[in-house]
Structure 1
Amino acid sequence: MNWQERIVIDKNVCHGKACIKGTRIMVSVILDNLAVGVTVPEILKSYPSLSQEDIFATLAYAAELARERVILLAA
């Protein structure tokens, strides 16, 4: 999955937050929905301009970010 083909960051769109290309749907909105258990079909129904590949791109983008930062957790 090449998330760069589907996710853009434009300082003039959504205050520079990562969005799905051609939309104002922020990656964080999709990830928040997934995190609380909203299913992919439910997200697609709520945001008809999205595709399943867009949702997979958000996960790939999040995985990329997770590889770049270490968060220390209390033991």
Structure 2
Amino acid sequence: MNWTERITFDPLVCHGKACIKGTRVMVSVILDNMAEGATESEILTSYPSLSAEDIKAAIAYAAELCSERSVVIV
């Protein structure tokens, strides 16, 4: 999955936060929904401008971010 084909950063859209191209749906919204237990189907129903590939791109983006740094839990 090449997330760069589906995710954009534009300072004029959602304050430059990662969004799905052509929408104002932030990647963080998709991930927050998934973390709360929402299914892909539920997310697609709530955000009809999204596709299953957009959700996969959000996951791939998050995975890449996680591989770039460590988080120390104290």
Shorter-normalised TM-score: what interval?
Answer: over 0.9
| Aligned-partner Cα distance in 2 for 1:59–1:37 | 14
Structure 2 residue runs of 5 or longer lacking an equivalent are none
Moved over 4 A (4+): none
Counterpart of 1:46 in structure 2 is 46
Structure 1 residue runs of 5 or longer lacking an equivalent are none
Counterpart of 1:22 in structure 2 is 22
| Aligned-partner Cα distance in 1 for 2:27–2:69 | 18
Q: CA RMSD in A?
A: 0.5
2:66 is paired with a residue whose SS is helix
Counterpart of 2:65 in structure 1 is 65
Paired positions, count: 74
The TM-score with structure 2 as length reference comes to 0.98
Tell me the alpha carbon deviations over residues 24-72 of structure 1, each in whole angstroms, 9 at most, x when there is no partner.
0000000000001000000000001100000000000000000111101
Amino acid at match of 1:50: L
